[in-house]
DNA sequence: CGTACCGTTGAGGTGAGTCAAAGTAAGTGG
DNA sequence: CCACTTACTTTGACTCACCTCAACGGTACG
């Protein structure tokens, strides 16, 4: 782990939460002062399954993967965390130990806010709390996995879903082809889709032959984005919309 | 739907939430006065996927099933709601339409609290809010399904997991055999385990032949509870602990 | 120029889905 | 209370997507 350093200004979704609450400048500063930014390298763990949840994490840059290991160390990933996204809030508010490990897929700048300060602010400012309620209620954490797995959806379709999920930014010109860089290994894709790396390789080959998505290392070229969406819609999507109870 | 009637006293988990907050009697009365109890019959819907979330629901008695339907009307259940349990809170706090349908498995008494009052109380009483944070963060909603599905777990094991999940009450003497009454159809079990009714039937037959769990209609006799737990532990349980990020 | 690790390809096995049909329980009306 | 309808449950035969195991090619790094 690289030496910590203070960092002025709050990044991530948290800034948005603050804007929506009527938090005075003094309290924002209080939060800023306790924030710690640390830089982690690829494959390094940000927090580990089983460890106490001592605070809230936020990615300033880079990508991380959340996965859970069973007693046989069989890993099941269920969320890709991108720049600006928070993580660790479920165990924070659930008052549980971390039930998943966060591992850096690429080099990351990670913000950390101590539990005590976050909970205090949540208690004091209803507007701030309400934003967290929304985040928690809409959290796709385990839902990402649900969306992507499910036996009756073929691996090919699950892979397409993942591509569409990773394509949030506007790296796609409206008509032309679309180039996407996946921040993870085949092994990680497999863990996310609840499949084996071999099955992923076969699905990738198939998509390439059909001219739907051409993989070259971690770079994916998608000639026609519509062709992807068409295919997911024609398949059975068991949890297409958000599954909010 | 049977005519509504007022009902004194707040049941369910909500009472516990109130006890943990420092809510004055006047506010508790405010909540009680807006509460509505209605009785629903088997198969009746308590709320429907796509409808606006107008309040919080709570089962005073009976069992209900939460399921989500895709565009092909393929139903995937993900939670069994028992007496005292709340439902509908995710869409309430997520400010989304209901993304699932709640359907009564047996006759139910359902409490309903209007959104406005609940949100007001959450804003006013941090202790009350904190309990909801915990509930949301620990919510197994979609997680139940995750626990039970996953291709690499055979249907037989998923079924055992469900039995253990339904066996919360102490209907088991310490040594003797344990009798359990499932509140649902085979079809519902299938939806919960992301399997087909035929596969459930086969798994049930197998468990009976092995003398691990004898099904007779909706009544399940488990000669030795340990035999069940042993089997789940020896299998790969991808999400054994709670998956809280 | 090895040593790892990652990625791909092939052969073989299998759990569970699908389809179809028979058996059983539950609910209805005379 | 019984005949009838309807819905649920079980069984069997077949098929297939994916897993497993094993081997080989590629690339990074010492």
Chain position carrying tokens 């359902």: B110
- The end-to-end CA distance of chain A, in Å, is 39
Tell me the CB-side half-sphere exposure of residue A37, using CA atoms within 13 A: 15
CA-to-C1' span, B33 to D9 (A) = 46
What angle do helix axes A115-124 and A25-34 make, rounded to 10 degrees? Answer: 160
Cβ of A244 within 8 Å of Cβ of B99? The answer is yes
Selection from B86, B79, B131 nearest residue B110 by Cα: B86
pLDDT in tens, B131-154: 999 888 887 654 555 454 555 678
List, in order of start, the domains of chain A with CATH numbers.
Answer: 5-139 (2.60.120.10), 147-230 (1.10.10.10)
Q: What is the pLDDT of residue A95?
A: 86
> A206 by DSSP, 3-state: which?
helix
Cα separation, B66 vs B46, in Å, equals 10
Q: What is the pLDDT of residue A230?
A: 83
Q: Who among A74, A79, A138 is closest to B245 (CB)?
A: A79
pLDDT in tens, B179-209: 888 888 898 888 888 788 999 999 999 999 9
Q: Which nucleotide's C1' atom has the smallest distance to the CA of A195?
A: D18
pLDDT in tens, B105-129: 888 899 999 999 999 999 999 999 9
Q: What is the pLDDT of residue A140?
A: 61
Q: Please give the C-alpha separations between residue A6 and each of A34, A37, A111, A150, B14, in angstroms, as whole numbers.
A: 9, 6, 10, 43, 42
Q: Is the CB of A215 under 7 A from strand C?
A: yes
Q: What is the pLDDT of residue B2?
A: 43
One digit per residue, the tens of pLDDT, for chain A of length 245 reads: 444 444 456 778 888 888 888 888 999 998 999 999 999 988 889 999 889 999 999 999 888 888 877 665 667 777 888 889 999 998 999 888 998 889 898 889 999 999 999 999 999 999 999 999 988 888 765 455 555 555 677 899 989 988 987 876 566 766 678 888 888 889 888 888 888 899 999 999 999 999 999 999 889 999 988 888 888 765 443 333 334 44
How many C-beta neighbours within 10 Å does residue A69 have?
17
Nearest-by-CA chain A residue for B138 = A94
Helix (H) or strand (E) holding A220: strand A219-222
Selection from B17, B48, B196, B42 nearest residue B107 by Cα: B42
Q: What is the pLDDT of residue A1?
A: 44
Give contacts of B78 with chain A, Cβ < 8 Å. Answer: 146, 243
Backbone angles phi, psi at A185, to 5 degrees: -80, 165
Which contacts qualify for B70-73: CB closer than 8 Å, 24 or more apart? B70/A236, B70/A237, B70/A238, B70/A239, B70/A240, B71/A233, B71/A237, B71/A240, B72/A236
Q: Is the CB of A187 under 7 A from strand C?
A: yes
Radius of gyration, alpha carbons of chain A: 19
Selection from B113, B90, B58, B1 nearest residue A142 by Cα: B90
Minimal Cα–Cα distance from A97 to chain B, Å? 8
Q: What is the pLDDT of residue B54?
A: 95
CA-to-C1' span, B152 to D19 (A) = 9
Sequence length of chain B is: 245
Give contacts of A244 with chain B, Cβ < 8 Å. Answer: 90-91, 94, 96, 98-100
Cβ of B72 within 8 Å of Cβ of A130? The answer is no
Q: Who among A70, A145, A152 is closest to B146 (CB)?
A: A145
Torsion sign (Cα): B165, B167, B173, B177: negative
B158-190 core/surface letters (b: 16 or more CB in 10 A; e: else)? bbbbbbeebbeeeeeeeeeebebebbbebebbb
Q: Which nucleotide's C1' atom has the smallest distance to the CA of A202?
A: C8
- Kindly state the DSSP code that residue A5 receives in the 8-state scheme: B
């Amino acid at each position: 782990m690289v030496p910590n350093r203070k960092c002025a200004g709050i990044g991530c979704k948290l800034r948005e939460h603050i804007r929506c609450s009527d938090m005075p400048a003094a309290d924002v500063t209080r939060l800023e002062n306790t924030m710690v930014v640390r830089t982690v390298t690829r494959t390094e763990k940000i927090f580990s399954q089983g460890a106490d949840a001592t605070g809230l994490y936020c990615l300033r840059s880079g990508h991380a993967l959340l996965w859970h290991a069973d007693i046989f160390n069989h890993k099941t990933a269920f969320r890709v965390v991108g720049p600006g996204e928070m993580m660790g809030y479920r165990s924070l508010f659930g008052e549980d130990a971390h039930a998943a490990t966060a591992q850096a897929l690429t080099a990351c700048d990670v913000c950390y806010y101590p539990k005590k300060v976050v909970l205090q602010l949540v208690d004091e400012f209803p507007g701030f709390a309400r934003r967290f309620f929304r985040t928690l209620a809409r959290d796709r954490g385990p839902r990402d996995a649900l969306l992507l797995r499910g036996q009756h959806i073929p691996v090919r379709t699950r892979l397409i879903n993942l591509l569409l999920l990773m394509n949030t930014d506007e790296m796609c010109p409206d008509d032309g082809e679309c180039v996407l860089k996946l921040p993870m290994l085949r092994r990680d894709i497999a863990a996310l889709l609840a499949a084996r790396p071999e099955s992923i390789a076969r699905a990738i080959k198939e998509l390439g032959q059909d001219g739907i998505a051409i993989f070259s290392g971690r770079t994916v070229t998608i000639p026609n984005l519509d062709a992807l969406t068409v295919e997911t819609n024609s398949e059975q999507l068991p949890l297409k919309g958000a599954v909010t109870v």
